[in-house]
A and B are shown apart, each in its own frame.
Chain A
Amino acid sequence: MGDLKARIAKRAAQEFHDGDVVNLGIGLPTLCTSYLPEGVDICLQSENGFTGLSGKAEPGKEDYRVIDSGGNWVTYVPYANFFGSEESFSIIRGGHVDATVLGAMQVDEEGNLANWIIPGKAVAGMGGAMDLVCGAKEVIIAMTHTQKGNHKIMKKCTLPLTAEKVVDKIITEMGVMEWVDGKLTLTEIYDDYTIDQVKEATEAEFAVAENLKHLAAE
């Protein structure tokens, strides 16, 4: 599983361009920073109130004024800038974040996203997730293709939505799906999976790109 997560994060990191402002969700998406392509520097936005997140603070060197949105003690780059929540979310909603990478419970054929609540279970709340997926220019879902054998890429989301029609790309251990001419399409596949295996692991109907790219499993 560790290797699969690394594979997903590594592929997701290829989406970034030099200079992009990026917001990474908690968990798997934060691994992306370890796999940035050569020559690509990104500015990480932390929605609790700054641009220029660097990494986790070393034990003993924490600054009590600097946490990330998950509450971890973190450090910042020399060009960082700090602001309040009102400006942080103006930056997010206002289209100043180039890309966000986050996990999902469900994504569907229309690009609808569900990743914040399971009815009947303890409520955590959406935090900044709804704002992020509505405001970021590109919404990349980086996740395992299924969850304990259950489909996550659905015909239609059954869980309450985080936002409607916002997902641009889905990156999993099996490959990459995106919307081509409005239709969910498998555009890349890792060579340790077959198209039939992807179909079995996907409830949604999807097209297979004519120029389907085969990615080498490492």
Chain B
Amino acid sequence: MKNKMVTAAEAVSAIKDGDMIAVGGFLGTGSPEILMDALVAQGTKHLTVIANDGGLNEENAPTNGKLKGIAKLLANHQIDHLIASHIGVNPEINRQIAAGTLTYELFPQGSLAEKLRAAGAGLGGVLTPVGLGTPMEKDWLGNEKTIIEIDGVKYLLEKPLRPKFALVRADYCDKYGNFTMLKATKNFNHVMAMAAEHTLLASEKVYEIGERDADDYQFSGVYVEKIVEGEKPWEI
């Protein structure tokens, strides 16, 4: 069996300046914190990051003064371009936009999930009614998106979004990479794991293969290239 177990530093070492990465989490919940810390330590710059939101920074109450999720990368000025659905919670995003050091692209949350899923599922895009008649009919550069009519109903074509790396979090996995994310930590982690060329999984606990029943794992390890153990519960 190919060994997928690495340290956090080894896992992120393949990420280079300018790469497009996807990072799981929803306002910090379900974010791969040890991979964020390793990427901050590595100092990789000019990243394009796909994330639902900007994570949480020290100005957001529930973090006890700690940064969560991609807020760590934002604080360290490692992101040039952000692809997200909501950028209002972490105020650092709008500060960097105003300063001209960060560009951004917004998608409706469901469209963002489907664009990632489409990439992971080998589809040429998704047709969604969401965004018709709104600024979403144009991309962030002002180009018109394609509108397709199916049986008399109009849909917006949203193309697949394929990051080079996905950095995702699980509660537990086995050494093959089959993984489970409990409760509301799932959010974007699964579609990101599907979508990326290389998926790096940070898990609280890693079991030996066969130590638990195969059906205990919600998602397949076929998506996972590297596994890092040591993700910690969020101390509230």
Q: Which of A103-131 contact B (CB under 8 A)?
A: 112, 117, 122-131
Q: Quick check: which of B2-10, B12-20, B81-89 contacts chain A, the rest being far away?
A: B81-89
Is the CB–CB distance between B106 and A125 below 8 Å?
yes
Residue A67 contacts which of B26, B52, B130 (CB distance < 8 angstroms)? Answer: B26
Instruction: Give chain B residues whose Cβ lies under 8 Å from the Cβ of A161.
Output: 133-135
Is the CB–CB distance between A82 and B184 below 8 Å?
yes
29 pairs across A/B with beta carbons < 8 Å?
A47-B109, A48-B26, A48-B187, A50-B183, A62-B236, A63-B183, A64-B29, A65-B182, A67-B27, A71-B60, A73-B62, A82-B182, A83-B186, A84-B113, A85-B113, A86-B117, A86-B191, A123-B94, A124-B88, A125-B84, A125-B85, A125-B88, A128-B108, A128-B110, A130-B111, A134-B129, A161-B134, A162-B134, A163-B130
Q: Give the interface SS of chain A, mostly helix, strand, loop or mixed.
A: loop
A135 to B: closest C-beta gap in Å? 8
Instruction: Give chain B residues whose Cβ lies under 8 Å from the Cβ of A112.
Output: 133
The range of chain A's interface size is: 35 or more
Q: Which residue of B lies closest to A123 (CB)?
A: B87
Q: Fill in one digit per residue for B206-227: 1 if any A CB lies within 8 Å of its CB, else 0.
A: 0000000000000000000000
Instruction: Give chain B residues whose Cβ lies under 8 Å from the Cβ of A135.
Output: 110, 130
Instruction: Give chain B residues whose Cβ lies under 8 Å from the Cβ of A123.
Output: 87-88, 94, 97, 104, 106
Complexed CA–CA distance, A92 and B129 (Å): 12
Q: List residues of chain B with CB under 8 Å of any chain A CB.
A: 26-30, 52-53, 56, 60, 62, 84-89, 94, 97-98, 104, 106, 108-114, 116-117, 128-136, 171, 181-191, 233-236
- Residue A66 at the B interface, CB < 8 A? yes
- Residue A190 at the B interface, CB < 8 A? no
Is the CB–CB distance between A89 and B87 below 8 Å?
no
A154 to B: closest C-beta gap in Å? 15
Complexed CA–CA distance, A17 and B62 (Å): 35
Q: Which residue of A lies closest to B136 (CB)?
A: A130
- Residue A55 at the B interface, CB < 8 A? no
Residue A84 contacts which of B94, B131, B187 (CB distance < 8 angstroms)? Answer: B187
* Known A71-B89, A161-B133; 8 more pairs at CB < 8 Å: A71-B27, A82-B183, A85-B187, A123-B104, A127-B86, A129-B108, A131-B110, A161-B134
Is the CB–CB distance between B109 and A89 below 8 Å?
yes
- Residue A46 at the B interface, CB < 8 A? yes
Residue A164 contacts which of B132, B135, B235, B236 (CB distance < 8 angstroms)? Answer: B132
Q: List residues of chain A with CB under 8 Å of any chain B CB.
A: 46-50, 62-67, 69, 71, 73, 76, 82-86, 88-90, 92-93, 112, 117, 122-131, 134-135, 160-165
Instruction: Give chain A residues whose Cβ lies under 8 Å from the Cβ of B60.
Output: 71
Instruction: Give chain B residues whose Cβ lies under 8 Å from the Cβ of A125.
Output: 53, 84-88, 106
Contacts A48-B26, A71-B56, A123-B106 given; indicate if A160 touches B134 (C-beta within 8 A). Answer: yes
B9 to A: closest C-beta gap in Å? 25
Complexed CA–CA distance, A127 and B26 (Å): 11
Instruction: Give chain A residues whose Cβ lies under 8 Å from the Cβ of B88.
Output: 122-125
Contacts A49-B186, A128-B109 given; indicate if A122 touches B134 (C-beta within 8 A). Answer: no
Contacts A131-B109, A162-B134 given; indicate if A124 touches B183 (C-beta within 8 A). Answer: no
Instruction: Give chain B residues whose Cβ lies under 8 Å from the Cβ of A128.
Output: 85, 108-110
Complexed CA–CA distance, A161 and B137 (Å): 11
Instruction: Give chain B residues whose Cβ lies under 8 Å from the Cβ of A131.
Output: 108-111, 130
Complexed CA–CA distance, A163 and B110 (Å): 14
Q: Which residue of A lies closest to B84 (CB)?
A: A125
Instruction: Give chain A residues whose Cβ lies under 8 Å from the Cβ of B236.
Output: 62, 64, 73
Is the CB–CB distance between B85 and A126 below 8 Å?
yes
Instruction: Give chain A residues whose Cβ lies under 8 Å from the Cβ of B97.
Output: 123
Instruction: Give chain B residues whose Cβ lies under 8 Å from the Cβ of A47.
Output: 109
